[in-house]
Amino acid sequence: MRTDDFHRWLSQAANLTPSQRERALASLSEKVELSDVMAAIAEPQPRCPHCHYAHCVRWGNAHGLPRYRCGKCHKTFNALTGTPLARLRHRERWAEYAQTLIDGATVREAARRCGIHKDTAFRWRHRFLALPAASKPSHLHGIVEADETYFLESHKGERHLPRPPRKRGGVAAKRGLSHEQIPVLIARDRDRTTTDAVLPRADSQSVSTVLAPVIDPDAVLCSDGNAIYRAFARQTHITHRPINVSAGVRVVDNAFHIQNVNAYDSRLKEWMARFHGVATKYLPNYLGWRRCLERFADTLSPSLLISQAVGV
C-alpha cells in the first residue's frame, strides 16, 4: 500500500463501529501471522528448488515475495516454488481459507466464505492437503492399537462411471464387506501418534507394508481377533495381544485394549459424513486432513496450517 493510501485509510479508523474495529484488528492480526509464515519460508540463504544448489542470491521481488537466482542453473524462484501452493493466486485469502479447513467446511461453504469459485476452493483444498497427507510419523512405540475401517468406494467427480451413479454417497449394492468397500488401516499408540493408509486389500501383506516400517520391534500390538494382525505379528516377531471383541472382551490385563483406535475411527467417520461421500482417489488427503486436526487440536491456527501446507 502506498503511503498516501495508508494515511487516507488510517484517517477513517475513528469512524469505525466497535464491532468493525474488532473485525479489523482480527484481520490485521491474522495478516501478521501469515506474513510471519512467509518470512519463515524465505530462508536467509535458500537452496535452489530446481537443482538444490546452496548458493543463491536475491533477485528482486515479485508478487509480494522476494525472488532468488541460483548461481548454478541460473533459474529464479521464490519461497513457494516447488511447494503445493506455488502459483496459487489470491494469497491474501489463504488465511481465511485455511480457517475453513480447520472448521471442516464443505467446498461450497469455503467458496462462499472466501469469495472464490467452488472449483477454486476444491483445487485449493487438495493443494493445502498434499503435504499434510504425506506427513506421517516415522515410528509408533509402546502399546500400538490397530484396526481397519471401511469406506464406500466412490467415483465422485469422474465422467465415466463403471456402475450406475449413487446420490450423495448412497449405499453399497451388497450388504457387508465386498469389493465396493475400501479398507483403511488406522494405527495409533498411547501418545496419540497416528498413522493410516488406504489398503489395496485387507490382508496381512498390505498391513505389513504399512506397519512394518513404523512400528518399533519392542512394541506391543493390540488388535481385534482378525487373523491378518496375527499373521503380521508372527512374520515380524512383534508381541501381539488380540482382544476378543466379538465375545464382549474390552480390556485385557487392565492395559491392553483397542478403545483409542476405535474412538478415532468413530470420530473420523462422523467427521467424514459431512462430505456425503469422498472420491476414493482423494481419500488419503482427507485422512491426512483429519490427522492434522487431531495432531494439533485446539492449537491449530491458519498460519500453522499454511506452514504445514508448504512444509515448514
* Neighbouring C-beta atoms of residue 66, cutoff 10 Å: 15
Helix (H, G, I), strand (E, B) or coil at 147: strand
Reported as a pLDDT band with limits 50, 70 and 90, residue 42 is low
pLDDT of the residue at 62: 83
Which grid coordinates belong to 33? 501471522
Query: Average of pLDDT values for 221-239?
Result: 94
Q: Summarize pLDDT for 110-122 with one digit per residue, the tens.
A: 999 999 999 999 9
Question: pLDDT value at position 159?
Answer: 76
Burial grade of 287 (CB within 10 A; 0-12, 13-18, 19 or more): buried
Q: Would you place residue 2 in the very low, low, confident or very high pLDDT band (cuts 50, 70, 90)? A: low
C-alpha 294/C-alpha 102 separation (Å) is: 11
Query: What distance in Å separates the CA atoms of residue 106 and residue 122, rounded to the nearest whole number?
Result: 9
- Give the whole-angstrom CA distance, residue 96 versus residue 100: 7
pLDDT at position 35 is: 61
- Report the C-alpha gap between 183 and 280 in whole angstroms: 11
Per-residue pLDDT at 38:
64
d(Cα 214, Cα 302) in Å, to the nearest integer?
29
On the question of pLDDT at 4 being above 70, the answer is no
Q: Which residue has the higher pLDDT, 311 or 28?
A: 311
Strands annotated E in the chain: 56-62, 65-70, 76-78, 143-152, 181-189, 194-198, 220-223, 239-242
Q: Is the pLDDT of residue 160 over 60?
A: yes
Residue of 246 and 128 predicted with greater confidence: 128
- Strands (E) in 14-91, as ranges, are 56-62, 65-70, 76-78
Question: Is residue 31's pLDDT more than 60?
Answer: no
Q: Out of 61-70, 167-176, 291-300, give the one with best mean pLDDT.
A: 291-300
Mean pLDDT computed over 280-286: 95
Is the predicted pLDDT of residue 311 greater than 90, yes or no? no
Give the pLDDT mean for 72-86: 91
Q: To 5 degrees, how large is the angle CA 37–CA 38–CA 39?
A: 90
**Structure confidence at residue 36 (pLDDT):** 60
Mean pLDDT of all residues belonging to the chain:
87
Q: Which residues contact 140 (CB under 8 A, 6 or more apart)?
A: 187, 188, 189, 193, 195, 211, 214, 215, 216, 219
Q: Rounded mean pLDDT of 91-116?
A: 94
DSSP 236-300: HT-EEEE--GGGT---BTTTB--HHHHHHHHHHHHHHGGGSS--GGGHHHHHHHHHHHHHHGGG-
* The predicted structure's pLDDT at residue 64: 79
Top CATH class of 143-278 equals alpha beta
